[in-house]
């Protein structure tokens, strides 16, 4: 298929400018997204003392739940709890206090805290992925960015469709670094195109689901959206409190009953992960048990029970969901790789890093394409974009690595005194990111790129060092003890650090031996 030159120019312009506008946010989303697929591993890595503790039982969880409900009457309205299991470092109970603030309690802190246990680091990385760390509005912003991302993908497909097979296998290393970067950009883009389309669609869906439902409110929900929301996302029916106290139902019964119901409906490997309890101790108490099952897209499913009698009220199990639950569950599973084994996670990790490279290289290629070959001083737009690319993209890599290091230091302090680990990690991350952006704005782009890449390499290499010093769990000891979740985080950090060092050396080589009069060359313009 041959396109008219005018049509090709239109799609090329669209692809370029949409990529530039959305590229910065997408770089952050993909780099953080590559890390967040290992959120369970990050929780153990943050507080590895959990691996040394005996596995908590249902009896331990029951005692914690009873203590929370006794100490905090407001939790009786709605309370959640994580079941003890391999993926949860410790049992945790969570609820909202009278001010609407989320509280979290563990066996070591029944009084409760605003900080989720062992989750500060994984929550920060996930926030960067989903919202750039911007509360509320950031999620909607990323939804819009995902839509722009879809436009860039479609326009890129139109551009490369006439020579798809040629681009697929064209990777020409050599002295022409611009051509090599162009080839790498095209190859990665073409090979990962189906997954990127899926990321764009599911990202927009997850970020804009409430806006979409609000837009459809007059037509679909007949102006009663708020009444329809619980049925769209929850399994348990809403029951007002009867005002009649009854003996509290037991975790063991809910756990066993949910497995029994799931097996009766053909889901034989259902494993309860967490629950939500409404109207605890009341005659109308309802519990919703959510768990995982293998062999299906969207492995999470739920069983709703009468909390006092164990009577089945409703189910949303894998393969047997209604349209709303099936769509949301499948979108989440596809977006985060929650549908397969460890190999799927590693694939998503590589896709995340590859996606980040696409947006970084896209900016570099735009800058080079606008280079004035016979002019020493380059245009202000090219220089400023280069500075922004270095500061934002490489800067966030440095910032996330610093957050990892700060996590171990703050966790050590938290053992001796009360420390807000979540706030400390956030401050470390965003202050570092801001300093990197300022540094890139003040330095020549080529110098800033080398310096920040080396900073990323050093800070990332220090991640396993900080972990070993703080906990004694050096990666070789983790491997010997079979703690692969700790080992994998440390070793991957070393591999990524090597990648940053390689990029720093390549950038320095380009500065010395590349074409002169470039933003990325050691020229008099520097």
The CATH number of residue 269's host domain is: 3.10.450
DSSP summary character for residue 391: I
Measured CA to CA, the distance from residue 78 to residue 468 in angstroms comes to: 40
Q: Which residues contact 192 (CB under 8 A, 6 or more apart)?
A: 351, 354, 355
286 lies in some domain: yes
Residues 505 and 405 in one domain: yes
Residues 323 and 227 in one domain: yes
The confidence score (pLDDT) of residue 349 equals: 94
The confidence score (pLDDT) of residue 278 equals: 92
Residues 221 and 287 in one domain: yes
Radius of gyration of the chain (CA): 26
Query: Which CA distances in Å does 368 have to 277, 362, 372, 385, 502?
Result: 58, 10, 9, 11, 21
122 lies in some domain: no
Closest CA to 82 of 100, 54, 60: 60
Residues 103 and 245 in one domain: no
Q: Where are the alpha helices (DSSP H) in 108-220?
A: 120-131, 137-160, 164-169, 177-191, 193-215
513 lies in some domain: yes
Helix (H) or strand (E) holding 329: helix 323-336
Residues 322 and 380 in one domain: no
Residues 326 and 450 in one domain: no
Q: Mark which of 95, 117, 139 sits at the end of a domain.
A: 117
Backbone angles phi, psi at 330, to 5 degrees: -65, -40
Measured CA to CA, the distance from residue 9 to residue 83 in angstroms comes to: 56
515 lies in some domain: yes
Exposure string for 131-170, b = 16+ CB within 10 A, e = fewer = bbbeeeebbeebbebbbbbbbbbbbbbbbbeeeeeebeee
User: How many alpha carbons lie under 13 Å from residue 140 in its C-beta half-sphere?
Assistant: 6
The confidence score (pLDDT) of residue 526 equals: 41
Residues 374 and 327 in one domain: no
The confidence score (pLDDT) of residue 195 equals: 83
Q: Mark which of 89, 117, 145 sits at the end of a domain.
A: 117
Q: Which two tokens stand for residue 148?
A: 């722009």
Total count of domains within the chain = 3
Residues 260 and 303 in one domain: yes
Residues 296 and 226 in one domain: yes
Query: Which CA distances in Å does 215 have to 63, 151, 220, 221?
Result: 45, 22, 9, 10
The confidence score (pLDDT) of residue 89 equals: 60
The confidence score (pLDDT) of residue 525 equals: 43
The confidence score (pLDDT) of residue 361 equals: 80
- pTM given for the model: 0.86
Three-state DSSP at 70 gives helix
Q: Mark which of 312, 336, 360 sits at the end of a domain.
A: 336
Instruction: Quickly tell me which residue has 């409430």 as its tokens.
Output: 210
Measured CA to CA, the distance from residue 295 to residue 332 in angstroms comes to: 16
Tell me the residue range of the domain where 60 lies: 48-117
28 lies in some domain: no
Backbone angles phi, psi at 455, to 5 degrees: -60, -40
Residues 308 and 437 in one domain: no
Closest CA to 450 of 400, 385, 520: 520
**Average pLDDT per consecutive 10 residues, the chain (526 residues; last block may be shorter):** 61 67 89 92 80 78 92 92 74 87 85 79 93 89 88 72 56 54 65 81 83 57 56 76 87 93 88 92 92 76 91 86 77 82 88 87 76 60 88 97 94 72 93 97 93 98 95 92 90 96 90 76 56
Residues 111 and 228 in one domain: no
Residues 332 and 409 in one domain: no
276 lies in some domain: yes
E strands in 23-82: 78-82
């Amino acid at each position: 298929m041959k396109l008219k030159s005018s049509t090709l120019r239109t799609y090329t312009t669209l692809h370029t400018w949409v990529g530039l506008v959305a590229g910065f946010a997408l770089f952050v989303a993909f780099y953080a997204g590559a890390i967040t697929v290992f959120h369970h591993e990050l929780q153990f890595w943050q507080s590895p003392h959990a691996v040394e503790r005996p596995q908590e039982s249902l009896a331990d969880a029951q005692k914690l739940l009873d203590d929370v409900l006794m100490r905090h009457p407001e939790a009786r309205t709605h309370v959640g709890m994580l079941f003890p299991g391999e993926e949860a470092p410790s049992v945790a109970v969570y609820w909202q206090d009278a001010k609407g603030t989320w509280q979290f309690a563990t066996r070591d802190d029944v009084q409760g805290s605003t900080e989720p246990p062992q989750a500060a680091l994984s929550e920060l990385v996930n926030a960067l992925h989903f919202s750039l760390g911007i509360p509320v509005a950031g999620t909607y912003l990323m939804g819009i960015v995902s839509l722009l991302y879809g436009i860039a993908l479609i326009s890129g497909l139109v551009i490369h469709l006439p020579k798809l097979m040629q681009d697929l296998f064209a990777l020409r290393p050599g002295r022409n670094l611009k051509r090599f970067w162009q080839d790498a950009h095209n190859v990665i883009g073409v090979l990962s195109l189906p997954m990127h389309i899926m990321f764009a669609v599911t990202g927009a869906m997850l970020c804009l689901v409430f806006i979409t439902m609000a837009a459809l409110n007059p037509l679909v929900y007949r102006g009663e959206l708020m009444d329809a929301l619980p049925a769209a996302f929850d399994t348990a029916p809403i029951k007002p409190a009867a005002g009649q106290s009854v003996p509290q139902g037991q975790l063991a019964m809910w756990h066993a009953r949910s497995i029994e119901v799931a097996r009766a409906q053909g889901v034989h490997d259902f494993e309860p992960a967490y629950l939500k309890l409404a109207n605890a101790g009341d005659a109308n108490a309802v519990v919703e048990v959510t768990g995982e099952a293998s062999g299906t897209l969207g492995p999470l499913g739920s069983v709703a029970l009468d909390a006092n009698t164990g009577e089945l009220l409703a189910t949303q199990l894998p393969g047997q969901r209604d349209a709303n639950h099936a769509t949301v569950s499948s979108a989440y599973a596809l977006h985060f790789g929650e549908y397969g084994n460890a190999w799927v996670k590693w694939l998503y990790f590589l896709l995340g890093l590859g996606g980040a490279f696409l947006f970084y290289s896209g900016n570099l290629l735009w800058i080079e394409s606008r280079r004035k070959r016979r002019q020493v001083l380059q245009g202000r737009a090219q220089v400023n974009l280069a500075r922004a690319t270095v500061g934002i993209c490489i800067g966030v890599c440095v910032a996330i690595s610093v957050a990892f290091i700060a996590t171990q230091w703050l966790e050590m302090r938290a053992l001796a005194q009360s420390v807000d680990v979540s706030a400390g990690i956030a401050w470390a991350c965003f202050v570092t990111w801001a300093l990197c952006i300022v540094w890139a704005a003040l330095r020549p782009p080529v110098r800033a790129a080398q310096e920040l890449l080396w900073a990323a390499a050093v800070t990332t290499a220090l991640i396993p060092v900080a972990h070993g010093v703080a906990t004694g769990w050096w990666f070789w000891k983790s491997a010997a003890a079979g703690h692969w979740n700790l080992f994998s985080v440390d070793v991957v950090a070393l591999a990524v650090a090597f990648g940053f060092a390689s990029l720093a050396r390549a950038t320095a080589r380009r500065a010395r031996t590349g074409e002169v009069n470039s933003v990325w060359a050691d020229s008099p313009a520097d």
